[in-house]
Structure 1
């Protein structure tokens, strides 16, 4: 919910898979809607409602 590099609207642009298909997904790539810059984060971080909320609120 706090802006990252002055950006506050992101979408998940890529799911980062490991070389071993049986391994669970650990990372996702998020893309800023405004600047198109990308950042990799742990997908579980998206569940932290103190940091992220879903939708355009």
Structure 2
């Protein structure tokens, strides 16, 4: 099943890593990475781990992969 997401509505959304690493299980989207050309679509978001505050930038489409991410905190 493919999840449909609007990248512009991802800001502050909550996510759970299916396979947590370094106790990092729960994440929040803290930033949408705007492309240099405003006519282009958003491709990346910045996720921040709740536990460690470590952040990373990923392609937002990765969040639709149910083997990696679940929407909300579980």
- The normalised TM-score by structure 1 is 0.91
Name segments (4+ residues, structure 1) moved above 6 Å.
Answer: none
What's the C-alpha RMSD, in Å, of the aligned pairs? 0.9
Question: For structure 1, which runs of at least 5 residues remain unmatched after alignment?
Answer: none
* Structure 2 CA distance for aligned equivalents of residues 24 and 56 of structure 1: 27
1:29 matched to 2:46? The reply is: yes
Question: For structure 2, which runs of at least 5 residues remain unmatched after alignment?
Answer: 1-17
Bigger relative contact order, structure 1 or 2 (CA pairs below 8 A, ≥6 apart)? 2
Q: Which has the higher strand share?
A: 2
How many residues get paired?
57
